[in-house]
Amino acid sequence: MITEKRPELSADNPMRVGMINVKGTELRVAMRPGSESRPPLILLNGIGAKLEALNGFIDVLNPEIGVIIFDVPGVGGSPKPARPFRMPELAETMAELLNYLGYQQADVLGVSWGGALAQQFAYTCPSYCRRLILGATSPSSLTVPRNPMAMMTMMNPMRFMQKDYVANNAMKMYGGKLRNDPQAVGKLTDHLAVGVNSAGAIMYQMAALMGWTSLHFLHQLKQPTLIIHGKDDPIVAPANAQTIANRIPNSRLVLVDCGHLFILTLAAEIAVMVDDFLGAPA
């Protein structure tokens, strides 16, 4: 099923990683099996982040929750496509990936850019999305930043050209615990796409957001939805999360005492929150 040679599952190495061709689109995919009584959880990363970036969160997530995570086209180990994908196309690719893997339904957790894709997936492919979790994200490409300088720092092309750029600017970009402890993010800087080729591919991710908005369809989402946002998020102001919560009928907003990367700096706490939400009665 996964074409690349992969290590066997073990307590120390629970993830299977390999390449999957989804109707002509090559994706580098990682999977962790979970309980057959629960649907898998698809994790969607932020701009420029390879699937390894969420290893710290996956490590503390209830092992009964199966995990599917992939490098979006052009990032990490997924080859750059001939042209940028739009958000609806990426959502349909996710559905095709689930079909390939033998699943008819999954839960979805999207962070930052991945949160936009998660919203689109819940709308475009509603039968495939059981529950929805949105973290540090916005309902529009016209994100309302709390700190314009933080947004400018994050969008600087050097972020994708210099390996140390994120580490040196983490306090300014991400806020929260990173203001006092820039190392609290762990090894994230080792799992960001860096280099000339990566910068071009990441522009494809940004192009997917150009003109995108979910404001016209959020009220149509039927999935139970958990929205998590950092109180000290310099990139995406909490007002964006409140807007999403106001528009999705069956939603709940939780503000946490952290910044944009709370899924890493508060990994254990967020993992419990996610497990409780996914395991709660419908």
**Among 199, 154, 201, 205, which residue's Cα sits nearest to residue 175?**
154
- Cα-atom radius of gyration of the chain, to the nearest Å? 17
In what order do the strands lie in the sheet containing 16-22?
A: 16-22, 25-32, 67-70, 41-44, 106-111, 129-135, 225-230, 251-256
Question: Among the options 37, 78, 112, 141, which is catalytic?
Answer: 112
Q: Which residues of 123-146 are buried (b: 16+ CB within 10 A; e: fewer)?
A: bbbeebbbbbbbbbbbbbeebebb
Q: Which residues pair with 108 in a beta bridge?
A: 42, 132
Active site residue 112: yes
- Whether residue 239 contacts residue 221, with contact meaning beta carbons closer than 8 Å, is answered with no
Q: So which residues are the catalytic ones?
A: 112
